[in-house]
Chains A and B, each alone.
Chain A
Amino acid sequence: MIRALKEKYKTEQVFWGVIFIAPTLIGLIMLNLKPAVDTIILSFQKSTGFGNQIWTGLDNYRRMFHDVEVWQAVGNTFIYALLTVPAIIILSLLVAVLLNQKIKGISIYRTIYFLPVVSTPAAVAMVWKWLYNSDYGLINFLLSKLGIQGPNWLTNPHTALLAVAIVGIWSAVGYNMILFLAGLQEIPKDFYESARIDGASPAKQFFSITIPLISPTLFFVTVTTIISSMQVFDLIFMMIDTTNIVMPKTQSLIYLFYKQSFILNDKGYGAAIVVLLLVIIMFFTAIQLIAQKKWVHY
């Protein structure tokens, strides 16, 4: 193989190539790859404190398969993903299409939609926690003006995850909108012009021109949104108190990982939970990579 490479590239080129990608490569190996491998190793160990571990084989995994809390968290994570992913994709595509027109003050609208992305997640969660408060929260106050008795958003097991998901959607739309906007601006205007001449309705134009042409962006957004929604943590951590009765019904896998690793100091078990999440995410991403051949047009 080395000989084949040597014939194809000049040593000089390889040398400089390596030098140039070194900063990224070293960063990737040290900050991403090595910790990932360490985590997998840690999941087969039991930590006895302060970086000391003993090898326990599959103990953590055996315990995990009998742990109701873990499977409840898997369920919670899936429900959260189901609530947020379709909404994020549809809303951000909709906003991107609407903001891809020549209207006055377009940059102001774009800024408004992008603002949640720039805000600190912790601060966002705190403000939303106030909005959701059942006593003095703005949301229930407005609902009461309409004659509706609002639910106890964050302490009712039926609404808590939905409440968290709404914040998740609200803060993710702006970022994906920007990606879609970039995709939309790549589409040549003449396609729409000729479609209009042929008498295609705006809806027809959207489904026959826009969707196929931004399918690479759509694919990218779908993959990243699913991954990030499976990794939800900060919103739950900030908005659901540990003494809240809905905690078992809202905690995600990452929250459980945090609890086991950093509150209960069971780092080995925490690592096993995160490996489970890794497997789940890899599974869904693999399915998408196979399915994309059918609908993504490059």
Chain B
Amino acid sequence: MKKSKYLGYVIAALLLVLGVSACGSKNSSQSGKKTTISYAIWSKNQEAGMNAIARAFEKKNPNIKVKVEVTPWAQYWTKLDAAATGKNLPDVFWMHSQEAYRYMSNGILMDLSNVVNKDLGKKNYPQAITNLYTLNNKVYAVPKDIDTVALWYNKTLFDQAGVKYPDSSWTWDTLLENAKKLTNADKGIYGLGAFNTAQSGYYNYIFQNNGKVLNAQGTKSEFNNKDTQAALQFYTDLILKEKVSPSVQEFAENSEASFFESGHQAMGTFGSFYMNEFIQNDYVTKNCDVAILPKGKTRASVSNGLGNAVAANTKHKAAAIKFVKFLGSKQGNVLQAEKAGVIPAYTAVANHWVKAFPQFHSQVFVDSLKYSKVLPHSKNTVKASTLETEVLTKVFSGKESVDKGTQQIYSGVNDILKQ
């Protein structure tokens, strides 16, 4: 009897020792000379490009290894949130203007003001993108890239309908007039796509109409603005009155670009971030091209940019800062333009991106930067835009008038921003 009792203690002790040694082995691997830092991103399309940059960085810094980790957008923020809560963040990671406020205001991100302003030179990046990641005069991310929206069109469908390709002379009137000519209900072809997406869709129209989404400080909704409402009315009419766009229902069943990619939509407003997807689509590369957005009361194109952030509590501070510096450098941005397919934030090397996509008139995206408007953001962009999408789904499907819908968004968003 005594014997078996001892056996139990021995087993228990053994388990304890095993547990402790398992923890121990983790620590010992880090004490080696080579430091490994993790780099979290959400785009599968850019994985190869980010790896190319990481390898180039490793060549320059042989004792640092960079591990690129891809998590799809939908899970990225859940995972990052949990990692921040558990104080186990990746060393370097992508940041988006929609989510940045929460991370900046909670002290999750390292202050990179010196890196951006002094070491890299803040003049090298568009001020608007740096501003997205600035809070109380501190910069929390190195601008990574920038995007704009332009008008993609299907040359074959234009030729069939005998319509001239879009150019800088186009206005909203020309757009609607030609969209009607291009629409062919019997063949299931639509002239234009008016989908329920802010950045690639209706925000462009709002800004072209001199409308606003939020006030300059990002503290109040501007959906009660007459110009904003007029732009949304025009957008809604494209779907319901003029019937030149697939309906909300049709878009909900298919992906945003599927009508365009399958030759069932002659024109669509898509951001430069669609380039990687379109380039891999044989139909699009053969039949389609891109032009600047038509002019409303003014010229405008929505622009956003990502940032590379460093975890405030990273264990490898020196290595992580070295890496973001490389990411923000001229060399890193040239690599990004050529290998990752996005317009680099480093303004001087944007032409490398244009050269990488000779199939289309890619220059229009870079030209659009001149009059681009920054994607609206506030301290709770996710909540505000979720409400906006829900209400606009009703508006675009005709269940709610533009007047009532915008009023709902106006008061709802103001309530959210007051919290």
Which one of A34-42, A101-109, A261-269, A287-295 is at the B interface?
Answer: A261-269
Contact A245 B397 (CB under 8 A): yes
Q: What does DSSP make chain A's interface, helix, strand, loop or mixed?
A: loop
Q: How large is the interface on A (under 10, 10 to 19, 20 to 34, 35 or more residues)?
A: 20 to 34
Q: Interface size on B (CB < 8 Å)?
A: 33
Contact A245 B254 (CB under 8 A): no
Contact A265 B8 (CB under 8 A): no
User: Which residues of chain A from 40 to 85 have a CB within 8 Å of any chain B CB?
Assistant: 49-52
- Asked whether any CB of chain B lies closer than 8 Å to the CB of A133, the reply is yes
- Asked whether any CB of chain A lies closer than 8 Å to the CB of B357, the reply is no
The chain A residue sitting closest to B86, CB to CB, is A51
Which one of A201-209, A221-229, A236-244, A272-280 is at the B interface?
Answer: A236-244
- Asked whether any CB of chain A lies closer than 8 Å to the CB of B186, the reply is no
Known: A16-B8, A155-B253. A242 touches B108 (CB 8 A): no
CA distance A15 to B4 in the complex (A): 11
Contact A245 B393 (CB under 8 A): yes
Which one of B116-124, B321-329, B381-389 is at the A interface?
Answer: B381-389
Residue from B8, B106, B390, B394 within 8 A of A19 (CB atoms):
B8
Shortest beta-carbon distance, A6 to chain B, in Å? Answer: 16
Contact B253 A263 (CB under 8 A): no
Contact B252 A244 (CB under 8 A): yes
- Asked whether any CB of chain A lies closer than 8 Å to the CB of B85, the reply is yes
Contact A264 B383 (CB under 8 A): yes
Contact A245 B386 (CB under 8 A): no
- Asked whether any CB of chain B lies closer than 8 Å to the CB of A135, the reply is yes
Known: A50-B108, A245-B394, A264-B382. A154 touches B253 (CB 8 A): yes
The chain B residue sitting closest to A19, CB to CB, is B8
Residue from B8, B86, B399 within 8 A of A245 (CB atoms):
B399
The chain A residue sitting closest to B1, CB to CB, is A12
Shortest beta-carbon distance, B46 to chain A, in Å? Answer: 23
The chain A residue sitting closest to B398, CB to CB, is A245
Interface string of A109-121 (1 = CB under 8 A from B): 0000000000000
Chain B contacts for A264, CB-based, 8 A: 382-383, 386
Known: A15-B8, A50-B85, A265-B102. A245 touches B383 (CB 8 A): no
- Asked whether any CB of chain A lies closer than 8 Å to the CB of B175, the reply is no
Chain A contacts for B386, CB-based, 8 A: 259, 263-264
- Asked whether any CB of chain A lies closer than 8 Å to the CB of B160, the reply is no
The chain A residue sitting closest to B11, CB to CB, is A19
Known: A50-B84, A135-B253. A245 touches B102 (CB 8 A): no
Contact B8 A244 (CB under 8 A): no
Q: A15-B8, A242-B389, A243-B389 are in contact. List 16 more A-B contacts (CB 8 A).
A: A50-B84, A50-B85, A52-B106, A129-B253, A133-B253, A134-B253, A152-B253, A154-B253, A240-B252, A243-B195, A243-B251, A244-B249, A244-B252, A245-B252, A263-B382, A264-B386
Question: Which of B's residues lie within 8 Å of A, judged by CB?
Answer: 1, 4-5, 8, 11, 78, 81, 84-86, 102, 106, 108, 188, 195-197, 248-254, 382-383, 386, 389-390, 393-394, 397, 399
| A-B residue pairs, 8 tightest by C-beta | A51-B85, A155-B249, A244-B252, A243-B196, A241-B252, A50-B84, A50-B85, A245-B397
